[in-house]
Amino acid sequence: MKLPPDVSQIIDTLTSNGHEAYIVGGCVRDSIMGVTPKDWDITTSAKPEQVVDIFPRTFETGIKHGTITVLINRQGYEVTTYRIDGEYLDSRRPQQVTFTTSIEEDLSRRDFTMNAIAYNLSSGFVDPFGGQADISKEIIRCVGSAECRFGEDALRMLRAVRFAGQLGFVIDDEAILAIKMQRENLANISAERIREELTKLIISSHVEALSLLEITGLLPYAVVGYDYPGSIKRTIGLLTNSPKHEAMRWALFLAFSGKAYVDILRGLRFDNKTIREVSLYVSLLSIDIPHSRYEIKKLLRQMSQESKEKCQLYFENLLTLQEIINPHDTERLAAVRLESQDIQTKGECYTLRDLSVNGDDLFAAGVPRGKAMGEKLEELLDEVMRDPSKNAFFRKYFKSEASQS
């Protein structure tokens, strides 16, 4: 395995100071599978204070659990001391950790065998639980007892399903049984952590793994207490044909959830921007997209909170989603797409921002501020959407009215 120069430098520096050091976890798994890791985690026998003494630039990002971030060439790398986890009381984190000098003990506390492999250039692989063999067999298996591993950290149940989606692996029978037995513990996990795992699963390459949520009984806990009203089988079919776009895939996942989709998104603590975008798609998935130029502008008007560029992108995404749900209607939707693109190319007006007159113009022409002015602006916009030439006309007309006033 070839390590980045910065990672090799950290490991070499630790070993030259009398300590053990390895890369560990996901970066080892990904490297074995021929995938370039996004992050490189390092584990060491050195205590946190020793790591701080050895390296000139460090940050105490997780010192309670033995993690120090070492800065090399302006890049941060997490270096964590070998540890043994204490008792888990909240189904998420150990109450305390004990540092150890044994890499095998450190690996024994990890979730899955494929993530319990360490490596450095001088010693090669340290793989006491058969992680390499499980990777070759494409099996997700817990380190030791699945019941214990999930009992310690309930999020691991959802992580197992997420890894099945990302890697295309199969979860072994013992783990499936343990998830079924302990699924209710997922309710103890924060909505933010559940959202992160579920999003990775929904945009994964093997969305068929979503069926595992139904098989194991995790589904209602993954959607924060709601009964999932759609058909997972149908949802999987839709997602398989969808771009790997987070908001679009969430819209398809929630397409048949009735009005519950907003509550689910809020329950999972999505940011307001994402909630608006996903809600927009879901609310318009069931309508027949109009094909007349005026009706298309009215629909674009509904999306006009963002810039025109973002508005057009949203509309394009909506058409793509409609094509996925209604594959028999692709010809008509293609015509709608061309019409909307022509509207954008010609810069035709469909928002108050692009109307040639504004409230000040109307006030100068004698229109009182308030409800009447808002209604008048909407009336003018509607006329311009029907006849684009009226935009320039209204500018001249209200300027004339203002000069006479």
Phi and psi torsions of 22, nearest 5°? -145, 155
The distance in angstroms from the start CA to the end CA of the chain is 81
DSSP string, 359-383: HHHHHHTTPPSSHHHHHHHHHHHHH
pLDDT digit string (tens) for the chain, length 405 residues: 889 999 999 999 999 999 999 999 999 999 999 999 999 999 999 999 999 999 999 998 888 889 999 999 999 999 999 999 866 666 666 667 899 999 999 999 999 999 999 999 999 999 999 999 999 999 999 999 999 999 999 999 999 999 999 999 999 999 999 999 999 999 999 999 999 999 999 999 999 999 999 999 999 999 887 777 778 999 999 999 999 999 999 999 998 877 789 999 999 999 999 999 999 999 998 888 888 999 999 999 888 666 777 888 999 999 999 999 999 999 999 999 999 999 999 999 999 989 999 999 999 988 899 999 999 999 999 999 999 999 999 999 888 877 776
DSSP string, 231-295: -HHHHHHHHHTS-S-HHHHHHHHTTTSTTHHHHHHHHTT--HHHHHHHHHHHHHHTS----SHHH
Type of residue at 172: D
Contact 29, 135 (CB under 8 A): yes
- Element (H or E) spanning 191, and its range? helix 191-202
Cα–Cα dist 383/393, whole Å:
11
Here the tokens at position 333 are 């939707």
DSSP string, 75-94: EEEEEEE-EEE--BSSSSSB
Which pTM was predicted?
0.89
Cα–Cα dist 155/397, whole Å:
64
